[in-house]
Chain A
C-alpha cells in the first residue's frame, strides 16, 4: 500500500507542499516495505487537467493514499471515484521526516 506526499524539494526533510496537485515533487512511501521514492511532478505548472494527470501518474505507481494539507474539488471527486484514500495531514507535521516518522509500516525488509 503506497502513500503519496507532496513536497517542495528532494531532500529527506523536505517541507510538505501546501497544494497537492501543484507540488513540484512527490514522496511515495511503501507501507509494506518501508521503501521511499521521490519523483518529479511534470504537471505542476500546467493550466488544465492537473488533477487528472497527477492521479494518473500516481496510479501508475500503485499509490492508494494521497496525503496532503488540502485537496481541490476535482481531486476530491476523481479520487473518490477511483477509491483512492485522501488524508488531510495535521498541521503539526511540517516536513517529510516528521510525517514519515509516524506512518505505520506493516513490515520492513531485513
Chain B
C-alpha cells in the first residue's frame, strides 16, 4: 500500500474558483482540475518568484515533491491554454497555514490571526461563516 500523502500547506485560498475561455469553446464538458497545491506551487514559484527551496519550505514539502507538483501544474495550464479548456481550482491534499473563514453572505474570505472565537463575518456581520482547514 502506498504511503499516505503529507498535506501541503497553502498560505491563502485562491480568490477565484477557475477560468473559462472566451469564445465558442467555453463548454462545461471540457474542464481541467488544478488542485490547490498545484495552484500554490505556481503562485510561489512563478508569481512570487521564490526559489524551489523557499517554496518547498512554505509548503512544508520536499523540493523533489514540489518539482513534481509544479511540473503537473504547468502541464495542466498549457493544456488549458492550447486546448481551450475550462480550469477549475479545487481539491488536493492541502491544509491552510492560518485560520481562514469564508462568509456565505458576502462571499469574502478572511483570516483570524488573533485566534478569536469568530461567530460572524468581519465585513458584513453575517453569521453564516465557514471555517476552512487549518494546520495544527
Contact = CB atoms under 8 A, between A and B. Distances in A.
Interface size bucket, A side? 20 to 34
Contact of A65 (B12, B13, B122): B122
A30 to B, nearest CB: 14
Q: Is the interface of A mostly helix, strand, loop or mixed?
A: loop
Interface string B119-131: 0011111000000
Interface string B75-115: 00000000000000000000000100000001111111110
Interface residues of B, number: 24
Contact of A87 (B98, B123, B125): B123
Nearest to A105: B125
Contacts of A91: 15-16
B52 interface: no
Interface of A: 3, 65, 67, 69-73, 76, 79-80, 82-93, 102-104
